[in-house]
Amino acid sequence: MLDYAVTLEFDRASHEKLQALIDQVSAATGCDHMPRMGIPPHVTVSAFRSEREAELIAAMDDLAAGMHRCELTLANIGVFNPLVIYVGPVVNEFLMDTCRQVNARMLPLGEVGNRGRYLPWQWVPHVGIAVKMNPQALRVGFDILQREFTACTVTVERIVLARAEPYEPLKTWELR
């Protein structure tokens, strides 16, 4: 079985702002997994394993057709200690509904992935800035974000179905 993720991606200006933070933390810490693997700034709403790729794409075609763009407020800096530093959105109805709907559509076509961390009510929405960190890099990354990040509004413009590990987007849907 392959690992998959469904992610939300942002408008160009927000993408560039978040990518600049990712690049800055990567350069200062050497934790370059995200830029090296071509992983864009995003919020993952579902992670699962499946062998039914064509059916996953068809299910996402149906789901994405009814989705609209939405604004999110990125308001905090967070840590999944000690491996990940992120900026977090204020949880809203769009995020929770998207997480519920995507998982409800995808999981019958596979099984829960990433130890269930992306299931509704077990999920911490976040935009990863750096992953696979060590404690020293985490401190450096946090110092950078504390200095450079300010709360902001971003627009979710796309939803993406991707293979995970290594990251490979399969299909992107522009939201209305």
Which pLDDT does position 63 carry in this prediction? Answer: 97
Q: Supply the pTM of this predicted model.
A: 0.97
Please give the average per-residue pLDDT across 91-98, as a whole number. Answer: 97
Per-residue pLDDT tens over the stretch 71-86: 999 999 999 988 999 9
Which pLDDT does position 79 carry in this prediction? Answer: 96
49 pLDDT tier (thresholds 50, 70, 90)? very high
Q: Rg for the chain (alpha carbons), in Å? A: 16
Structure tokens at 161: 């179905």
End-to-end CA distance of the chain: 32
Which pLDDT does position 165 carry in this prediction? Answer: 85
Sequential DSSP letters for 8-46: EEE-HHHHHHHHHHHHHHHHHH---HHHHHTPPS-EEEE
Which pLDDT does position 82 carry in this prediction? Answer: 84
